[in-house]
Structure 1
Amino acid sequence: MSKPSLPILSVSGVAKTFILHLREGARLPVVNGAGFDLYAGECVALGGPSGAGKSSLLKMVYGNYRVDEGTIRVRDGEEMVDVASTSPRRLIKLRDTTMGYVSQFLRVIPRVGARDVVAEPLIHDGVPPEEAVARAGALLARLNLPERLWNLPPATFSGGEQQRVNIARGLIAHRPLLLMDEPTASLDAANRNVVVELIAEKKRAGVAILGIFHDAEVREAACDRVIDVTDFAKAAA
């Protein structure tokens, strides 16, 4: 796949060490010298063994973890915003318009029905509520969530059902950069295949996707390349 000249995400020289304050300030290096670019229309997996820093790196890109050194620049229109140094207000705006995130766990307002949970990002973008709810229902149906559950709060669902709601919410609105943390971990084979199809559709729409995919079949089917974070972890040791 030919790459456009300008990346959607550019990570350069990123280092992170956790300070364990309950362990007398012990230092736990995570990554050092992490760097890569991500382009529109490609899906890239963060690879490496458990504990190598994949989830930490993903959370640094989203701004949930602070960065000790380096830059994490995300393209927002004509501007490259450095997540590592930007203001909280600018980071919130970046998340609202540019970065989507599918985490391992669904965190939503209690007592809100699943279909409304999924529709909310579209409504936030200005889509009329009736259209947003219809599109949310169609996506939930595609992910094989029974219609009888759509008006029920996801907190009452099984882990796999909650994850399907989580995926639908993360994918329903267009965001140029999409981060995915083990999105298929709780899914059966049929729904894993649906997620692979949805990722392919996002790629065709020009979305840049960075994710952690422990399922080898999903990773091989969905991803264009793998960035092994092991070297970044070794450099931090």
Structure 2
Amino acid sequence: MATKPILSVSGVAKTFILHLREGARLPVVNGAGFDLYAGECVALGGPSGAGKSSLLKMVYGNYRVDDGAIRVRDGDEVVDVATAPPRRLIRLRDTTMGYVSQFLRVIPRVGARDVVAEPLIHDGVAPEEATKRAGELLARLNLPERLWALPPATFSGGEQQRVNIARGLIAHRPLLLMDEPTASLDAANRAVVVQLIEEKKRAGVAILGIFHDAEVREAVCDRVIDVTSFGQMAA
């Protein structure tokens, strides 16, 4: 294991203010802290409402942090997501931090294979090679070739999730965040995702995720962080 973490979360606190409820305050986490190293997969655990998704979104920079630091190693530089300006955060996502969300959000009328290939093209891979690799990954995830040219908005939930996984995994990013990646998948495709995650770990990728599927969590995760230990007070 590397001596320096890829991700270091320290003293992170977050409270939502409910403006439609007369400014009621809803604490999410307080004093969250942990490190994540290359080649390991760590799950955020705890019951619904514990703050798992909120914490994941704070690491990615989608939610503002009230207090604390979220440091991500980007080559020789360490970037604090909690204070980084928007352009630096965008660059960090381009080079270092990937995200597989629960829901696929893509440009309408763009075919599934092109959706998956786009991150590789952004990284400078030739379009022909990117398209080829996208097709290979979609095939591994058992998405029928007849669907590759069609826009994913027309797909079932499970088909969309496989496109989402392929897009999130196709390019190398040292840090990968995953939010319930197998929620809509059958057993065969869950097994494929487990294989893909193991391959990422062997390639030195650090993975932080929410895995409600106990079998998947036990198969890929090296440890579980109990989010309820971070002073969470909300239901």
* TM-score, structure 1 as length reference: 0.97
Instruction: Please report the RMSD computed on the Cα atoms of aligned residues, expressed in angstroms.
Output: 1.0
User: Would you say the 8 A contact 2:12–2:66 is kept in 1?
Assistant: yes
Q: Give how far 1:233 is off.
A: 4.1
User: Would you say the 8 A contact 1:47–1:54 is kept in 2?
Assistant: yes
- Residue in structure 2 matching 1:200, options 198, 201, 212: 198
User: Would you say the 8 A contact 1:32–1:236 is kept in 2?
Assistant: no
CA offsets 1:65-105 (integer angstroms, 9 cap, x no match) = 00000000000001110000010000000001100000000
CA distance in 2, matches of 1:103, 1:161: 14
User: Would you say the 8 A contact 2:27–2:233 is kept in 1?
Assistant: no
Q: Give how far 1:234 is off.
A: 3.5
CA distance in 1, matches of 2:159, 2:80: 35
CA distance in 2, matches of 1:15, 1:210: 18
Query: In 2 relative to 1, CA 187–236 (structure 1 residues): closer, same or farther, beyond 3 Å?
Result: closer
What's the counterpart of residue 59 of structure 1? 57
User: Would you say the 8 A contact 1:45–1:225 is kept in 2?
Assistant: yes
CA distance in 1, matches of 2:152, 2:81: 31
Q: Give how far 1:236 is off.
A: 7.3
CA distance in 1, matches of 2:185, 2:172: 23
What's the counterpart of residue 149 of structure 1? 147
Query: In 2 relative to 1, CA 183–192 (structure 1 residues): closer, same or farther, beyond 3 Å?
Result: same
CA distance in 1, matches of 2:194, 2:24: 41
User: Would you say the 8 A contact 1:7–1:38 is kept in 2?
Assistant: yes
CA distance in 1, matches of 2:216, 2:138: 20
Secondary structure, aligned partner of 2:182: coil
CA distance in 2, matches of 1:224, 1:71: 24
- Residue in structure 1 matching 2:215, options 217, 221, 227: 217
CA distance in 1, matches of 2:229, 2:196: 31
Q: Which structure 1 residue ranges, 5 or more long, are not aligned? A: none
User: Would you say the 8 A contact 2:51–2:232 is kept in 1?
Assistant: no
The count of residues paired between Structure 1 and Structure 2 equals 233
Which 4+ residue blocks in structure 1 deviate beyond 4 angstroms? Answer: none
Secondary structure, aligned partner of 2:131: helix
Within the alignment, does 1:91 sit opposite 2:89 as a pair?
yes
CA distance in 2, matches of 1:72, 1:216: 27
Q: Give how far 1:235 is off.
A: 6.2
**Percent sequence identity over aligned pairs:** 90
User: Would you say the 8 A contact 1:15–1:69 is kept in 2?
Assistant: yes
CA offsets 1:91-147 (integer angstroms, 9 cap, x no match) = 000001100000000000000000000000000000000000000000000000000
* TM-score, structure 2 as length reference: 0.98
